[in-house]
Chain A
Amino acid sequence: MSDRRTPALETKSTARAQARPAPSRLGGGLVYGLILPVAAALLYEAAFRAGLVQARLLPPPSRIAQTLWKLAVSGELIVHVMATLLRVGLGFGLGAAGGVLLGALTGASTLARRLLDPTLQALRAIPSLAWVPLFILWLGIFEPSKIALIAVGCFFPVYLGVMGAIANVDRKIVEVGRAFRLSRLRLALRILLPAILPDTIVALRSGLGLGFMFVVAAEIMGASEGLGYLLVDGQQLGKPDQILAAILCFAVLGKAMDWLILAATRPLLSWQDSFARSG
């Protein structure tokens, strides 16, 4: 019956819809999300203080915080964090760019898909870590081989995601563009790009997750700085608090980067945002 509503009523309901405060998903989610880890940390700390647990291998949160604080004050922490972030940034940038380009190519052109996709799928079947010896031979033991490994790790989820997104674009919507006589370029910009954006962002997020996975692998295999180095160092010198501090940093960094992607793309996805909220 909404078709028969009077204009006056419609204006009123529009105003009400706009007045309704948008639930702040991030803020509310943060509070709920913190309950479990904080409670666990407090419980363990209390058990430690009461002498119920031996803390030699699993140090209490207070000691981890202490270690973190020492690393931060000495300026070491920022060096390690920046080293790791730079590797992930460069590797993810290269891998994601390649994934988007090739994914778009194979998604849009049948010829390209027939030519490229079988090879890329075969390469995907190779565990990325298997490339490490070759990369070290080719690129040396320093930064380039690490970045190459991360790039390879990030490439495949992004490639698959973008290719799938293009394949899933509704043919009927594309036809609207054709009926309005859009050129191929305009069709890509005005129909395809916005249509694949949501799936592409999901692909980028999973690519970034793999980027962090591979940066640890690369840094464990040999690095003089980086959070992965802190892990190895902590293991070799028997400092579990340092290992846990580094793990904590990974968790925070990974979450922060993921949030950055979400925050940066949110304005572009506002058309589906409240759908996700209500559904």
Chain B
Amino acid sequence: MLSLSHLDKIYPNGAHALDDVSLDVAAGEIVALVGGSGCGKTTLLRLVSGLEAPSHGTVQVDGEAIAAPHPAVGIVFQEPRLLPWLSVAQNIGFGLEHLPASERRDLVEEALLKVGLAGYGPRWPRELSGGQAQRVSIVRALVTKPKVLLMDEPFSALDALTRATLQDHLLALWEANRPTLLLVTHDVEEAAALADRAIVMQPRPGRVFADLPIPLPRPRDRLSTGFVEAKRAILAALDGSLSQSPAAGSKVSDISAGSWW
């Protein structure tokens, strides 16, 4: 459904962010991209969103190439990025300008209800807490019913408790239309809690290191053996991805040499 083939991204400054990344994601699948910093996971997401163009390779959604932002692909950024001069309701309706006002209002109301923010429509974004703002930004992307939803570490700025709540919220929202979900995270627990598959990436240049299925039923019990094993598998792959990377490897030995005492 979502198909990335042989993606390369070299920035004008010479940084080699992605090297020959290929990935196929089935419709309705939740895939977590996990990796250390600089492994190109955010770059990968930006290529899929069409906000940036790959140096080589193609991104396709249902056979259609993505070269620029596309209505079938929605994105949630690391920060809520709400427009401060629009009310919460107007922010959610931002991508629905083409609809008649009454229909838009109904969709927005429904969306607010779904994320537990009924009655917050007339408020300004700055009156929201971080978690509330991020929920608004998630429904802003979902309300246009994209086939693919991209999320770039959407919960990384939140405290652990809020994060776990929002992960559950996200799954409930996803359940409604079951879009294909590509989620960038550096949080192993988040990957294990949400994803059907964890793609572990390797830095410098960014490559796919491991493709780990997480065949656990939902809702997932975070204390179950299966969950802990999935986390451990991702962690192990993550360790492997870092130690096999030549740059990271030499760095590690540098540190150990310097700290022999």
Contact = CB atoms under 8 A, between A and B. Distances in A.
Interface of A: 2-4, 7, 10-11, 14, 172-173, 175-176, 178-181, 191, 194-195, 197, 271-272, 274-275
A181 B70 CA distance: 7
A88 to B, nearest CB: 30
Tell me whether chain B's interface is mostly helix, strand or loop, or mixed: loop
Given A3-B116, A14-B119, A179-B49, 8 more contacts: A3-B131, A3-B132, A3-B165, A7-B118, A7-B119, A14-B120, A172-B77, A272-B84
Contacts of A11: 119
Contacts of B227: none
Interface in B64-84: 68-71, 74-75, 77, 79, 81, 83-84
B136 to A, nearest CB: 12
A271 B77 contact: no
Contact of B83 (A10, A194, A274): A194
Given A10-B119, A11-B119, A271 B165 contact: no
Given A3-B162, A4-B165, A11-B119, A180 B69 contact: yes
B174 interface: no
Contact of A172 (B79, B84, B86, B94): B79
B110 to A, nearest CB: 15
Nearest to B118: A7
Contacts of B123: 14
19 contacts: A2-B129, A2-B131, A2-B132, A3-B129, A7-B116, A7-B119, A11-B119, A14-B123, A172-B81, A176-B81, A178-B51, A179-B51, A180-B69, A181-B70, A181-B71, A191-B83, A195-B85, A272-B84, A275-B126
B132 A181 contact: no
Contacts, number: 62
Contacts of A14: 119-120, 123
A191 B97 CA distance: 14
Interface string B83-113: 1111000000011000000000000000000
B79 A271 contact: no
Interface in B103-148: 116, 118-120, 123-124, 126, 129, 131-132
Contact of A173 (B49, B70, B81): B81
Nearest to A186: B97
Closest 8 interchain pairs by CB? A194-B85, A271-B85, A3-B131, A180-B95, A181-B69, A2-B129, A176-B81, A271-B124
Contacts of B77: 172, 175-176
Contacts of A178: 51, 69
A72 to B, nearest CB: 43
Nearest to B141: A179
A22 to B, nearest CB: 14
Interface in B39-68: 49, 51, 68
A195 B118 CA distance: 27
Contacts of A180: 69, 94-95
A178 to B, nearest CB: 6
B115 to A, nearest CB: 10
Contacts of B131: 2-3
Contacts of A197: 85
Interface in B131-174: 131-132, 162, 165-166
Contacts of B85: 194-195, 197, 271-272
A185 B194 CA distance: 39
Question: Among the interface residues A14, A179, A275, which one has the most CB atoms of the partner chain B within 10 A?
Answer: A179
Interface in B5-25: none
Nearest to B126: A275
Nearest to B74: A179
Contacts of A272: 84-85, 126
Contacts of B68: 181
A141 to B, nearest CB: 47
A5 B124 CA distance: 19
Nearest to B129: A2
Contacts of A4: 165
Nearest to B169: A3
A263 B233 CA distance: 62
A178 B52 CA distance: 11
A62 B45 CA distance: 74
A227 B74 CA distance: 60
For A172, A180, A272, the residue with the greatest tally of chain B CB atoms inside 10 Å of its CB is A180
Contacts of A274: 124
Contacts of A275: 126
A106 B123 CA distance: 35
B117 to A, nearest CB: 8
Nearest to A174: B81
B150 to A, nearest CB: 9
B123 to A, nearest CB: 8
